[in-house]
Amino acid sequence: MFDIVSKRGWYFLISTLVILPGVVSMIASPGWITGNSGLKPGIDFSSGSVMNVTFRQPVEEGDIRERMDELGHSEALIQRIGGTNFFVRTDVLKEAIGDGLSEREVIERDLEKFLGMERERVEFDTVSPIVAQETVRTAFLALAAASVFILFFVWYAFRRVPKAHRYGVSAILALVHDLLIILGLFSILGRAINLEVNSMFIVGLLIVAGYSVNDTIVVFDRIRENISRSPDRDLANTVNLSIMESMGRSLNTSITTLVVLLAMLLIGGNSIRELLLVLAIGAVAGTYSSIFIASQYLVMWDRGEIGRFIKRGPAAASSSLMQLIGR
Calculate mean pLDDT across residues 191-198: 85
Q: Is the pTM of this model over 0.95?
A: no
Q: How confident is the model at residue 271 (pLDDT cuts 50, 70, 90)?
A: low
pLDDT over 80 (residue 66): yes
The whole-number pLDDT of residue 202 equals 85
Reported as a single tens digit per residue, the pLDDT across 290-309 is: 999 999 999 999 988 877 76
Calculate mean pLDDT across residues 79-95: 86
The whole-number pLDDT of residue 30 equals 78
Strand extents, DSSP E, the chain? 48-54, 77-82, 85-90, 123-127
Q: How confident is the model at residue 315 (pLDDT cuts 50, 70, 90)?
A: low
Q: How confident is the model at residue 257 (pLDDT cuts 50, 70, 90)?
A: very high
Evaluate the CA torsion angle 213, 164, 295, 140 in order and state its sign: positive
The whole-number pLDDT of residue 127 equals 76
Evaluate the CA torsion angle 70, 71, 73, 78 in order and state its sign: negative
What single-letter DSSP state applies at residue 30? Answer: S
Q: Kindly list the structural domains of the chain, giving each domain's residue range(s) and its CATH number in brackets, ordered by start.
A: 5-39+130-326 (1.20.1640.10), 48-127 (3.30.70.3400)
Q: How far apart are CA 5 and CA 292, in angstroms?
A: 8
Cα dihedral 310→142→253→295 (10° resolution) = 10
Reported as a single tens digit per residue, the pLDDT across 200-225 is: 888 899 899 888 899 899 999 999 99
The whole-number pLDDT of residue 83 equals 85
Ordered strands of the 123-127 beta sheet: 77-82, 85-90, 48-54, 123-127
